[in-house]
Amino acid sequence: MLESRKIIITGAGSGIGKAIVKECLRHQASVIACDINEQSLNDLKKQLTNRNDALHTYQLDVSNYKEVSNFFEYIKANHSDVESLVNNAGIYLAKSILDYPVDEIDDVLDINVKGYIYFSQLFARLMFRQQREGVITNITSVSGMEGSSDAIYGSSKAAILGLTKSCAMNFSPLIRVNAVLPTMGFSN
């Protein structure tokens, strides 16, 4: 089902994003992997040398609108056939709301919410301009529904649930928008 698809994945250098990249490549998709950490992207490319023709990397800060805008100029010039976006970039600081300084509140909300908004907006503009169907998958968390001991993180993930529903309404029928809500795994 992913064969021959071209997919943008944010937060692709580690964790869930890295796993999504590997799975997409395993299913013969092409991936544009984005991350703020250039070294993580270089390591990813080295690990996946057998699929380097299908893996493209791009270093950027998802919370910086100018960088995201420049990225979509790159996409228009080099990957205009992209058809899917996985919004995954995020941070979790594991703090009580009582311990958050204002700059860290801003960091979490800028990355976990604004990054998704920026990518969704610019991806949708590209699809609408080209009158092509597309897919957006937002990686959020059960913390967005159930709450979290890190209230700022939980709030950011709740915002993504709302963003997903609103974008689905705004972008229908051209772009399908869904959310995936992972949880922390527990083992005995």
Please state, in angstroms and rounded to a whole number, the distance separating the CA atoms of residues 160 and 167. Answer: 10
Please state, in angstroms and rounded to a whole number, the distance separating the CA atoms of residues 164 and 14. Answer: 23
Please state, in angstroms and rounded to a whole number, the distance separating the CA atoms of residues 121 and 166. Answer: 12
Would you give the distance in Å from CA 143 to the centre of its chain?
17
Q: What residues are annotated to the active site?
A: 153
Q: Which residues pair with 77 in a beta bridge?
A: none
Please state, in angstroms and rounded to a whole number, the distance separating the CA atoms of residues 40 and 46. Answer: 10
